[in-house]
Structure 1
């Protein structure tokens, strides 16, 4: 009977001390990691919510990458649009000079040469790339936005008419740039579809022809260039509004990340002060239990009979 009781005493004491040590180790781990949950069973409701927060965080990370890429593309596009607008303004100045009756045919031919240079530069911008090497104005096309005929120099749009939208959070999407048709294509005074490159080439050819026809072509080109300039400035305005919206959504994502961090801390975080206090209490109980076990274990049968 005594041996059974002694065996039960040792077993209960070992189990109790082992449990206290395990709980102390758990508290020490919580202090080290800052997390109070080691397994879902510790708090099933909190664990489920933490999994949802992890999912939200992963989605937010994807939205942030999408937004960063969109912002990068739009900044490159905005810079290109600014340069395009400057070039169109210069082309208009040249056309205005060519329309002047006092301008000689030789001067108009010189103007045509500068217009050719502007057109070439505009095509270079139209086929520009962003930091990742994707066409700025080609939509979803892999190559250049415009194909240029090596013989005639004619430019043909080779991109797609649309650009895929990207997710930037909260179910919101944004078009991360402009297509060539958004910027360079328009309808001329006669109602025909054309683009800036064709109009500049036509004006250059007319100016080289000289005579009254050259002056008339230059005057007609003023309206065309105004239309082209308006198309570009409209694109700048649209792009600016998208960039502003992107900034608003970026601020929302930052707020959302802060909310997730705070809620994760509340749901699964270990309060350092509280956890330290609990650990100190646990260590006190553990030390007392170990001391009691040692004292009781040293008692022999005779001391128990006294």
Structure 2
């Protein structure tokens, strides 16, 4: 009796263990189909799990880099737009200086030109104090307030820092988010003096208003400085345009790398729907057959064959 009991117990235990394994496999496959992930624990495939963690960390860093790049793009776009308006103002100032250089103009006509030049000075001052995407000084370097202020004589004075902030955009690279006011306006005139466009325009407006002895000569002198100032601003705008183009290149590369990471993540940890469904169907069929076989075998008795 002990042998029979032991054999029967072993039969039931083997059947129970086999069906338990099949049910566990079916549940795992169903969980993979539901989550879309074939790894439920790191122990399922330690190497693949480690690589997936690395890919996830890289994607998180890429998201931070993308945020910085978007901010830099926004600030540089704002800078480019403001600089285009500045260029238009300086070109208009050149036109007015050319008119003022004529010896046939009357004092009242030059006074009218001076009034428009004063307005251009104010427009340039306002543009120089433009704000970036965070509401800080766009051309003030690392300053949060204005880039320029007016002294007691109404002259624009730069109060920003000497450099603009750099933003990391990934792979150890960074981009400067804007230009400083000095980089836009300051230059050395024909006499070797450091000056800026706003000072040139204000000085010319004052000369035309005060009725200086030779207003035409003052206008001619200003034309050379305005040309140099416009060239300086154009060079700065070219630099900004180059940075924007570089951000586009980096963005395309970041997108490509992100797509490659997504593909690798899908290959390593993603569920192959067709294959998993086929395995699930096979496992459920085997489980059903095992249950049916167990039911039939457990109902057999040696005494049935001794009748």
Tell me the TM-score range normalised by the shorter chain: over 0.9
User: What is the aligned partner in structure 2 of residue 61 from structure 1?
Assistant: 63
User: 2-side partners of 1:5 and 1:194: how far apart?
Assistant: 105
User: 2-side partners of 1:295 and 1:102: how far apart?
Assistant: 120
SS of the equivalent of 2:214 reads helix
SS of the equivalent of 1:212 reads coil
User: What is the aligned partner in structure 2 of residue 251 from structure 1?
Assistant: 252
User: What is the aligned partner in structure 2 of residue 296 from structure 1?
Assistant: 297
Q: Post-superposition shift, 1:212? A: 3.3
What TM-score comes out, normalization by structure 2 length? 0.94
User: 1-side partners of 2:133 and 2:170: how far apart?
Assistant: 23
**What aligned pairs does 1:111-122 form with structure 2 within 5 A after superposition?**
111-122=113-124
Structure 1: state its 5+ residue gaps. none
Shift of the 169–11 alpha-carbon distance from structure 1 to 2, 3 Å rule, reads same
- Aligned to 2:78, which of 71, 76, 79? 76
Q: Post-superposition shift, 1:131? A: 3.2
Q: Does 1:219 align with 2:227?
A: no
> Quick check: 2:166–2:175 contact (8 Å CA) kept in 1?
yes
Q: Post-superposition shift, 1:303? A: 4.3
Q: Post-superposition shift, 1:183? A: 0.5
> Quick check: 1:127–1:137 contact (8 Å CA) kept in 2?
yes
- Aligned to 2:54, which of 47, 52, 55? 52
Q: Does 1:28 align with 2:24?
A: no
What TM-score comes out, normalization by structure 1 length? 0.94
Q: Post-superposition shift, 1:304? A: 8.0
User: 2-side partners of 1:44 and 1:186: how far apart?
Assistant: 62
CA-to-aligned-CA distance 1:182-209 (integer Å, 9 cap, x gap): 1011112222222222222211111112
Structure 2: state its 5+ residue gaps. none
User: 2-side partners of 1:9 and 1:31: how far apart?
Assistant: 33
- CA-atom RMSD in angstroms: 1.7
The number of equivalent residue pairs is 305
- Aligned to 2:106, which of 104, 107, 128? 104
Q: Post-superposition shift, 1:250? A: 0.8
Shift of the 26–204 alpha-carbon distance from structure 1 to 2, 3 Å rule, reads same
